[in-house]
Amino acid sequence: MQDFGQILENQALLVALFACLVAQVTKLFVELIKNKKVNVRSLFTTGGMPSAHSALVTALAASVGQTVGWASAEFAIATIFAIIVMYDAAGVRQAAGKQARILNQMIDELFQEDSKFSEDRLKELLGHTPVQVIVGSILGIAISWIACRAY
């Protein structure tokens, strides 16, 4: 149980989680500016500007690099992990979101009138655009850089 308390001393973990939180809160403000209304759901959903996934993994990799060393195996692992997550966010999950949008449109067109078909709509905003991933990455690196300078 004593070891569990050491989690709160893990700088890389805390910086990464903070970067993710900042990215999610930023989505709230982006939605406010874009749609002129507060959408609290944006705090808990995937997709949108900026990518919280990218902010999380780049902050983690940058923090590991700054604390353990840029030539360390830990930094290499964190960096490869970050690349995979960002590729997935911008590639695979975005493609799944496009497929969901098309399927939802097909269902809407097929069952416009009084249909007994009751469908659950598929979540369309699954992934990120490359710009959202890049902005999330920049945010994560910036937060890591600032946090590691503060320690």
**Per-residue pLDDT reduced to its tens digit, 112-134:** 765 555 566 555 556 678 899 99
Check whether residue 27 and residue 39 sit in a common domain. Answer: yes
Average predicted confidence (pLDDT) for the chain: 85
Range of the domain at 107: 92-126
Check whether residue 106 and residue 37 sit in a common domain. Answer: no
d(CA 53, CA 69): 23
Check whether residue 61 and residue 40 sit in a common domain. Answer: yes
Check whether residue 19 and residue 50 sit in a common domain. Answer: yes
Res 6 pLDDT > 70: yes
Contacts of 27 (CB under 8 A, 6+ apart): 42, 43, 48, 49, 50, 52
Check whether residue 50 and residue 108 sit in a common domain. Answer: no
How many domains does the structure of the chain reveal? 2
Report pTM: 0.77
